[in-house]
């Protein structure tokens, strides 16, 4: 009589572009949760201008996660905790590369907790080989014709 409920997590981000570091966090989340919803932020009020459209970013992530049977990708336009609730998620999974990531993410986690204490923020440390990797760095390298082949999914 012990019915197990599905454990769902969201992995939010701008993913502009998706990197191998992002893919590693998504893959690790997919091993821990029954279902992972990758949420691609599409907020016109954000300060950062994106290089790729939300549709392109979704397509890149869908291609990169195609072999992961429990991952789906959606755009979202709402508060993160609302997106989590809409998808039945009990957790928000994000990667941390450095202490600066922690400082920002801790603030966001506290705000999210205030909005919905039922949605936990879970942080996964970046693997050493991805600890330097950021979408901003990848875009900058690509702008100057740098080789980004090892930094983004094929």
Active-site residue set: 22, 48, 97, 135
**Sequential DSSP letters for the chain:** --PPPPPEEEEEE--TT--HHHHHHHHHHHHHSSEEEEEEE--TTSSSPPSS-HHHHHHHHHHHTTT-TTEEEEEE-S-HHHHHHHTT-SEEEEEE-SHHHHHHHHHHHHHHHHH-TTSEEEEEEPPGGGTT--HHHHHHHHHTT---TTTS--
């Amino acid at each position: 009589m012990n019915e197990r409920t599905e454990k769902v997590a969201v992995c939010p981000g701008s993913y502009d572009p998706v990197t191998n570091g992002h893919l590693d966090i998504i893959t690790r989340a997919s091993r821990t949760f029954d279902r992972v919803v990758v949420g691609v932020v599409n907020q016109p009020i954000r300060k950062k201008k994106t290089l790729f459209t939300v549709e392109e970013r979704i397509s890149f992530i869908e291609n990169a996660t195609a072999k992961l049977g429990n991952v789906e990708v959606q755009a979202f336009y709402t508060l993160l905790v609302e997106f989590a609730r809409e998808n039945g998620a009990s957790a928000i999974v994000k990667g941390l590369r450095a202490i600066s990531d922690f400082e920002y993410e801790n603030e966001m986690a506290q705000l999210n907790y205030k909005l919905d204490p039922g949605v936990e923020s879970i942080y996964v440390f970046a693997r050493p080989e991805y600890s330097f990797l950021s979408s901003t760095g990848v875009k900058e390298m690509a702008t100057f014709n740098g080789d980004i082949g090892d930094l983004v999914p094929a």
